Structure 1
Amino acid sequence: MRRVAGRTRRGAFTVALSVLTVCGLTLSATAAGAAPASPGDPDGPSVPAPTAGSSTPALPGTVTSGRYVVALAKAPVATYTGGEQDIPATKPQPGAKVDVTAENAQRYSAVLNTEHQEVAASVGAAPEKSYTTAFNGFAADLTGEQVAALQKDPAVVSVTKDTLRVTTDDHRSTDFLKLSGSTGLWSTLGGPNQAGKGVVIGVIDTGIWPENPSFKGDALGTAPDANNPYKAYRQGDTIIAKKVNGGTFTGTCQTGEQFSASLCNTKIISARYFGDAYLGSKTPLADFKSPRDGAGHGSHTAGTAAGNNDVYVGAQSGRISGVAPGASIAVYKALWEAKDPTLSGGFTSDLVAAIDQAVADGVDVINYSVGAPTESPATDPVALAFLSAASAGIFVSASAGNSGAGASTLDNTQPWVTTVAASTVQRYEAKAKLGNGVTYTGVSTTVGATVGPKPFVAAQNSAVSGTPTDAAARCYTGVLDPAKVAGKIVQCDRGGNARLEKSAEVKRAGGVGMVLTDLQDLGPIGDSHSVPSIEIDIPDGQKVKDYALTSAATATLVPSSSSTIPYPQIIGFSSRGPALATNQDVLKPDLAAPGVDILAAVAPPSNDGKSFARYSGTSMAAPHVAGLAAIIRAKNPTWSPMAVKSALMTTATDTKTRTGAANTDVFAQGAGNANPSSMLSPGLVYDSSDNDWLAYLEGLGTNLGTGVTAKDPSDYNAPSFAVGQLAGSQTLTRTVTATTPGLYRATASVPGYTVKITPSILNFDTAGKSLSFTATFTRTTAPLSTYAMGSVTWQGAGKTVRAPVALRSTTVASTSNKVDITGSGSASWQVTSAFSGAFPITAYGLAPVNETPDEVSVTQSKQYAFTVPSGSHLARFQTVVAAAGADIDLYLYRKVDGKFQQVAASASGSANEKIELANPPAGDYVVAVLGYTDPPGQSSTPFILRSAIVTNEVGKGISVSPSNPNATAGQAFTVTATTTVPDPSKAYVGWVQYPDLTGTLVEVAKAG
């Protein structure tokens, strides 16, 4: 199930040291307490995080109930190019939508449905729902044994647990983006109502609140409007809209709870809901079984992307507009609001169904403000469905995630998706004048008049007796003591629970104001708080808290009309790259857009009766890009989705740091902040399509059986350059297509590298002409194992076309971090050295894999002690679980100065976890297995802990050839590992090590 950011990431827990005995690889187990939930900051003001310090919450069995989504290798209808039973191609021509009613589409869909039945039946299962338009696969309840069998079927690409996914949530962003005003972009298009006209934006989210003025439209007629060819009309239950690209959108207004067919209009031209899996889970709802929005998130994203122009919000905020007011909205509700907010979200199968329908309906743009705190693989069903959507000509804007500011925290990283980070606009500010004479400036939208001077107290010292310190400091609901708070301004720590819950708690206890202090880099937010509030950023947050902890402290909250905070900045919560699923060879995020304090439509029941509210998150940034894409498509209707993406990226501009300097961190901002004034005429575009994406997947090792030649992901034709392992020098190839003819000259700069562009001049005599070039990056002074960031820029015809670059230099680059061998056998791969000369390679092992059967229940942990000998090269631990619906986590601790410290964790949404530690320090370690969700109907989860340590021993059943080659810098050569196992019935692990101490893991499976 997916939420509006996956399951909350769990934190560490204290190891019960007294019961552990260090005993080499002899494993001993003991029960201990569960890990507390991580006090991560929630996305948006209405989604709380778990209570810090509490036991890990056990999700109900319905979250991981044994329902899986099975992806099959054959192309879906949207991308099928012929060859199956003499059925002609069903992939639409450029500009056309998929015609699922056509005879060929019906015939091919029947072929796919038959295969679904056969594949499922081969393991004794039956499809519950089949998908054939944008995604070829089915959802079904499966046992662990059935999953294992399907994973071996060559017709199957992936088997993915149907998990919960979540929303990833110049004071006006449209002003900041220079869309409005007499010189803004809208004026050049004929006014705001022409921006995006003839384009349909599909919003996959929590639904819509149709009565909001942002979605007001005319009643649907029953015939086309001769004066407005793009105006939607109704024919029976079908809503039809002609599009600017010559295609036709067909939708419907699905009725349901508090949602009638009359609520669709010329703005909301379709509304559907998808909840087979979620509603089937019987999760108690705080929602409507209809397209009506029960959360507010979907209304907010729809209003941001395409809400009406000049909508009055109130005296303080004035009027607002969506980015593309002329565009139409199609609603696909696949995310649901639960009474328990931690269970809100949508299952993968429902989201795939929504994408499938959006492609069939013929939308032009999809906004997907959904994600997870860990990166989804390229074979994820949602990712594959979006590949087909892009192939059908649909631009997909997706949020990067709200798990920043750490590295590699983003999601939605597939190259056919545009991944959007969140940036700030001009902030509303206020000042906190403290009684010690110091004044601090912070972000506020609620200090409209002076408050104070008043007594200023720290929540940490103002809670009812017995309240845990963290809960008190963070102003959890019900913790503050009115006798200590009434009439005072309260200091609360950010984190742990929803920001709005903090001010609501202050108000409940009688407080008259709040100062919210950031103690880590999250980025201040101007929420609509219950009492006048200011949020103070780091490092000042700690200083304010320290003063509040003193006796007789006072504070005054003062409104400010000035703005001193540089903008746009990448907000702290915005997820960062590099993307691990691409082997760090595709740069993500792609670009940034406003995502902080965005005022837009919401659902009143879940927003204190308000029709508009300020939300923050990459969920808010993605619809800005969706709206901009709609504007581009209305102006250039024949452009492909990747041409649109390229135009947005290559015209983007740098964001700023806290000091106001240019931000050059491409893993935070991608290509930079969206710049609408240049996007309609970028000069050159880096385009790509189906075969490029399939070659990219093959390059990642995904065998789709398409016959497309694999391509190094670094060579994918992206409007960016990324190499995760650059050994000395590497040459990448790109092709650009002119939108404006002329002579273009290249410049490039990456600190610590020389960059050679060949040819350095490209001459385009006509628009539409494509030319290729190479970029050779050669390391000079760049530090090893550290990213260097820069750009490759083409200038000509009055255009500047800039692509970001991220390079990580290594001594050795290997095409395989892991190879698989069954029993005695061999495997080969390519290695490149950054230097010339002797290149010694050593094979260590084989180490036998020890298997320890055990079981663990929810909130319980089992712990295993062992010692890593000096000189070891690899420690590997893995849990293997056969039961469907289980979820356990794996943690690794090392004893340092008498205390155990966490050094690694594997805490995904499944039960099969793995930790691999290369060149581990010698010492005492503990592996802890934590129960999170038991299989349905069971009180514990049986598992096998597989452990192996590759020590400094050589010649124990593994050899490598060549063992001491004479390498030439930058030239790849072949390495072959050969295994001779002493016992074919056992599994082993080996390690092939290179001169820089990196290596390739050799996993040897049982042969019998």
Structure 2
Amino acid sequence: MIQRYLVLALLFASMIVMPAPAKYTTTTTIQSSRGDDVTLVEAQLQMAITNENGQGVSALLEFEKQLTEFEINTIESIGVKFARRGSSIINVGRFYSAIVYDEGSVRHLSELGLIRATSGSKQFTPSIISSMEAIRADDVWNNLEINGQTVDGSGVTVAVIDTGAAWLHPAFWKQYPTEFDFIFWSSNYYVDLNDNAIAESNEGPIKAFDGPLGSSFDYASNYMFISIDGDDNFDYADGDRWIGGIDSNGDNSIDLTSEKAVMLNISKVAILYDQFSSNVYIRDVNLTQAVSIGDSHSTYHGTHVASTVAGGQIGMTSYVGAAPGADLIIIRSPLTSADILDGISFAVENDADIINMSFSSYLGFLDGTDSEDLLVTEAFLNHGILTTAAAGNLGTLKKHARFSVPSGDSNTVLLDVGNLKDVNPYLSILWQSNNRDEHVLFTPPSGPPIDLGAYSEIAGSSFALDTENLSAYVFCEISSRGMNNIIVQISTEEHHWQNGVWDVTITNPSGDDIWVDSYAWDGDWIYSDMTFDSYTDNLHTISSPGTSDFAIAVASYSESTNSITSGSSRGPRIDGAPKPNIAAPGVSIDAARGDFLSSDDLWVPKGGTSMASPHVAGVLALIRQAEGNDNPWMDYSALINGAGGLANHFDIPLNDWGHGLLDAGSSIMYVLNEAIESSSSLSDWSLLETFTTDGDEPGVQADLDIRYVKVFQHSDSLGLAINTDAVSNFMGTDMLSVEWDLDSN
């Protein structure tokens, strides 16, 4: 049977005084001059400056435009010190990292265009709790070449701002482009690096990381390495190096007697920036000096994330990241606000194409105006860098409550407080109103209620609350988009929050009806020491920086249930903007294990939106390579338009799926033009899903028997590849009719 394609193209047409409390007194009140602008200096930063001990405090400064050298010198002359990496000031466009010592100096900067000053100490949390087939990344590697090169992310750089990475892991090495013979000598195998058929000291013996090595090696989850001293433990500092094999017969094993070896000795880590020490390590320069610089987190979060972006080697392991040919910039970070600005700045300066941020915070406005969110926007609009971000894992945790308060009425949410750990827990309350006359009242399990007073009187302030049942800092803010925010945070050893169920009452004396979102954070996704007992809601739980206007917020998808995981945060954003943007696998994702040198395992499964986000970063690297013109708008459009494939794409994003499940094959087709051309070949359509199929019909002429159809839609055209049993000729009496239901009715 001879099958043929027919390809068609169809065109489509202040001074702050604590309000008089009803039944409590404060022992400490922080007073500060607000002036007319209550949003210029963030309340958290006010508090930090007040408690400053002579060392200064970290701040993020947002100006109207990027500063000139003269303006920088002027600002430093009045006592504000810009943070530097070496001799370079740390900034992303008009956003600067600085050390400040007094509030007056900061407020004076408004004359030089300061829009807002915020704390640089906000702490973000890693979003923790094979997948490549689910997103069809393997279809791209195996079927698509651009200018003779496999589309695997080559030539694209992804910056991973996270807890670091165990970069010595075999997943983070590329192969040297030469094949070598294995040779057997004195009961061991060696790699004949100089092609002289003699086993030499720098060529072996070869060891398997996990278990003994025979003449056949199963590479699915294991690696071989040259052991310079002959022991079974990999030690890079001793000269040990990873090796792979060429599986020429496709039997999933390497025959050391007949198949070839390759050296895995080119690091995928182009740059490692250790923010803890401020040291920078560069491939082929001084990266080998960073042998002891690994992952800073107890869960080895960053290693897993980076491996999901670009780990492994095609055909040499089963554990391959989405873009195994991409280069990595590893930014080993404490993940404070100032560090995130520094990390983005570093990524910009070193020509990153994509940034992945698998961490979360609910300490802020969550409406796209938090400083970290604006940094993501700045990186995209002014530097063309796309950022993928974890949506968060707040679903089903009872850490978010949403309720309405009619005008002239009040409403109460129940907050259950347990034995809070020493992790700066907080309660954040957010709402929008037209007159800001709302009151927030805290009623403890026992004792008098605590009334913070009318919000209009405390907006823009920070103060210490000290009562028998609750001792904490209170921060009151208004975002540039009109979002009101009260944060009550346990921040010192002296602070305490009485255990039991609290009533948190919002009173709305007049004006419009309001909706209130409350977030309880007790230090980790796994803790349940501060939760809500009423009005719990899984929607409106997207975390920052995924809340940025230009962040690609990624939800977590389960391959086993074909659904969004219950813990994945849902949209929309708190102000109604659509989020998340896309979904990707986030359950039992196997990737590089950060403590592999002290264990018997190279791999470990992890889950959560932290694991989903790097899938998208990797696919963006594939899209960028295929697109070839460094066009971030085109890359973003391709990513979104391809989400969900043909059958499950959502033009209007859903609160759980966004636009749909990440689909590398479909997305890449949006940056290629060949598929809709009438002269295209079968291979040009290989990445596209089959739109419809039809069985063999013996009673129909072979040249008229349509077996299946593939479809590809651009913004102004529709291409169809129609497969028949034999060559068709529609130049005569035979006719092909195509009807398209544009409105799906």
Q: Answer 1 or 2: higher relative contact order, Cα 8 Å, separation at least 6.
A: 2
**TM bin (shorter chain):** 0.3 to 0.5
What TM-score comes out, normalization by structure 2 length?
0.46
What TM-score comes out, normalization by structure 1 length?
0.35
